[in-house]
Amino acid sequence: MNITIAGAGAMGSRFGLMLHLAGHKVTLIDGWEEHVKAIQKNGLQANLNGEQIIAKLPIYLQSELKPALSSDLIILFTKAMQLEAMLTDIQPLIKEHTNVLCLLNGIGHEEIIERYVPKDHIMIGNTMWTAGMEGPGQVKLFGNGTVALKNLVSDSKAKDTADHIVEILNSAGLNAQYSEDILHAIYKKACVNGTMNGLCTILLSNMADFGDTTPAHTIVQQIVNEFAAVAKYENVDLNVEETVDYIEKNCYNRDTIGLHHPSMYQDLNEHNRLTEIDYINGAVVRKGQKHGVQTPYCSFLTELVHCKEQILGAK
């Protein structure tokens, strides 16, 4: 199977490398010129669970795609705000038989993808794998993860395709499964990102220190309430109490991930990069406006993060 990774940063490199190591034909596409040049010159250099690996993977700048490239499966792994530009640039690669899988964090990406890909060729999902960039062409890949996915259109042909893609991902050890309840999983993960990412970014704190503050419980509960209120309009029944409990048990645990700074913190505070806030809390605000649901906490947090992006001159 010809697999294209559209957006070959930290996560795209992880998936690309694991699929390549499993024997699949993988092509990377990315918009960061320094990174693309580094991989073309030296290969993708990965620290994979402590083992240094160099993989000679073909990589192209998204603005310089060869029309002859063909792809059976495209896995989208840009940041959310880069998604539409990537889809525009890879249009020549999206042929009649091409399937597209989106594993970005955040909600509502399918509304953008549908403008570029026939609905019955789109799969959405999420992943618990992690990855980090060490510099252009260099990634650090530690730990384990899972993938859950589902076809957007509910018909048996699209389901067969999704099952096949699950098999392909599993052949590379990516622990994938088909999930009938994928929107619920996407919303639940978005609640984790929609609380920890923005709050720790603004407060300059790790997750456990935030969790120790007296207002933390109420703030998290209010934000999750807003996610749950808009999720109802997509027939997703998100239990607020259970979700808050899940966040508090997992994110504040100092023995596991509690001392980590979320990726948005690192992107903005350490690397001066724009954030995905518009596609997490901001998406809830837009959905709230559409359905007449008040979302004051998500709205305020989105605005605060935008203020900080502008103060820091993030790009």
- Closer by beta carbon to ligand NAD, 59 or else 298: 59
75 - beta bridge partners?
A: 5, 101
Query: 263-302: string of b/e by CB count within 10 Å (b at 16+)?
Result: bbbbbbbeeebbbbbbbbbbbbbbbbeeeebebebbbebb
- Options 43-51, 71-79, 112-120, 251-259: segment touching ligand NAD (CB under 6 A): 71-79
For position 105 contacting ligand NAD by CB under 6 A, the verdict is yes
User: Closest separation between CB of residue 239 and ligand NAD, Å?
Assistant: 23
- Options 72-80, 113-121, 171-179, 213-221: segment touching ligand NAD (CB under 6 A): 72-80
- Closer by beta carbon to ligand NAD, 78 or else 151: 78
User: Closest separation between CB of residue 112 and ligand NAD, Å?
Assistant: 13
CA distance 141 to 130: 7
- Closer by beta carbon to ligand NAD, 158 or else 172: 172
For position 10 contacting ligand NAD by CB under 6 A, the verdict is yes
Which residue sits closest to ligand NAD, CB atoms considered? 9
User: Closest separation between CB of residue 129 and ligand NAD, Å?
Assistant: 6
Residues 239-268 that bind ligand NAD (CB under 6 A): 263
- Options 130-138, 153-161, 175-183, 214-222: segment touching ligand NAD (CB under 6 A): 130-138
**Can you tell me which of 3, 4, 5, 7 binds ligand NAD, judged by CB under 6 A?**
7
For position 274 contacting ligand NAD by CB under 6 A, the verdict is no
Residues 170-229 that bind ligand NAD (CB under 6 A): none
188 is catalytic: no
**Can you tell me which of 80, 149, 238, 301 binds ligand NAD, judged by CB under 6 A?**
80
Spot the catalytic one: 150, 188, 189, 287.
Answer: 189
User: Closest separation between CB of residue 105 and ligand NAD, Å?
Assistant: 3
For position 32 contacting ligand NAD by CB under 6 A, the verdict is yes
CA distance 300 to 284: 12
SS3 labels along the chain: CEEEEECCCHHHHHHHHHHHHCCCEEEEEECCHHHHHHHHHHCEEEEECCEEEEECCCEEEHHHCCCCCCCCEEEECCCHHHHHHHHHHCHHHCCCCCEEEECCCCCCHHHHHCCCCCHHHEEEEEECCCCEEEECCEEEECCCCCEEEEECCCCHHHHHHHHHHHHHHHHCCCCEEECCCHHHHHHHHHHHHHHHHHHHHHHCCCHHHHHCCCCHHHHHHHHHHHHHHHHHHHCCCCCHHHHHHHHHHHHCCCCCCCCCCCHHHHHHHHCCCCCCHHHCHHHHHHHHHHHCCCCHHHHHHHHHHHHHHHHHCCC
For position 11 contacting ligand NAD by CB under 6 A, the verdict is yes
**Can you tell me which of 3, 17, 28, 30 binds ligand NAD, judged by CB under 6 A?**
30
Sign of CA dihedral 295, 297, 300, 301: negative
For position 151 contacting ligand NAD by CB under 6 A, the verdict is no
User: Closest separation between CB of residue 12 and ligand NAD, Å?
Assistant: 6
Active site residues: 189
Residues that bind ligand NAD (CB under 6 A): 7, 9-12, 30-32, 35, 77-80, 82, 104-105, 127, 130-131, 133, 263, 271, 276
